[in-house]
């Protein structure tokens, strides 16, 4: 597999804008491990190999277990996730697959039981951000495998 275009170099303003949004998400007070679960789940749905490689590595750096990473695609059928994580994962799926159900009220009620209004908005920004990264990485054929996490994990 070969990358199509170096989007960061060819459109540095757009790339910086995405990095700024990513920086906001990382500083929004949602748990870093939860953010990685969200990024992995959205990337699974979107089929983004580059982001899956990146965020599974970042999740491991943050202490996430292999078991929870491997089972994430079937989170509803496992006892491995908290009620708060389950609500976030349901919200992630609904926002990522917005054309299928337009984020139903039941999913909003579920996430509202576990997150404040500000947290829901920040959770949504996190989902929007990873979905955007997925689309860029897939379109530009970003090649997975070379990413190495920083000591603390959590990048784009």
In 3D, which of 124, 130, 138, 119 has the Cα closest to residue 156? Answer: 130
| 58-113 residue pLDDT tens | 999 999 999 999 999 999 999 999 999 999 999 999 999 999 999 999 999 999 99
Q: pTM of the entire structure? A: 0.94
Q: Does residue 144 register a pLDDT over 70?
A: yes
Domain boundary assignment for the chain: 31-139
The CA-atom distances, in angstroms, between 141 and each of 6, 44, 134 are 10, 16, 10
State the pLDDT at residue 152.
56
* CA angle (100 as vertex; 80, 25 as ends), nearest 5: 55
State the pLDDT at residue 151.
67
Q: How far apart are CA 107 and CA 138, in angstroms?
A: 28
The DSSP code sequence of 108-142 is HHHHHTTS-HHHHHHHHHHHHHHHHHHHHHHHTTP
* CA angle (79 as vertex; 63, 101 as ends), nearest 5: 100
Domain 31-139 CATH assignment equals 1.10.10.10? no
State the pLDDT at residue 52.
98
Give the residue carrying structure tokens 């969200």: 38
| 89-101 residue pLDDT tens | 999 999 999 999 9
What band does 1 get if pLDDT is binned at 50, 70 and 90? confident
Q: Which two tokens stand for residue 87?
A: 């609500």
């Amino acid at each position: 597999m070969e990358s199509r275009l170096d989007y960061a170099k060819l459109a540095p303003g757009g790339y910086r804008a995405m990095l700024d949004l990513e920086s906001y998400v990382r500083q929004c007070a949602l748990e870093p491990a939860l953010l990685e679960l969200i990024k992995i789940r959205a990337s699974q749905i979107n089929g983004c190999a580059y982001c899956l490689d990146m965020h599974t590595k970042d999740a491991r750096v943050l202490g996430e277990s292999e078991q929870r990473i491997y089972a994430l695609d079937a989170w509803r059928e496992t006892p491995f996730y908290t009620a708060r994580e389950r609500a976030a994962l349901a919200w992630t799926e609904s926002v990522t697959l917005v054309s299928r159900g337009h984020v139903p009220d039941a999913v909003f009620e579920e996430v509202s039981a576990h997150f404040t209004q500000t947290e829901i908005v920040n959770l949504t920004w996190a989902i929007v951000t990873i979905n955007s990264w997925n689309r860029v990485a897939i379109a530009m054929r970003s090649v997975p495998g070379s990413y190495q996490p920083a000591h603390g994990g959590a990048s784009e």
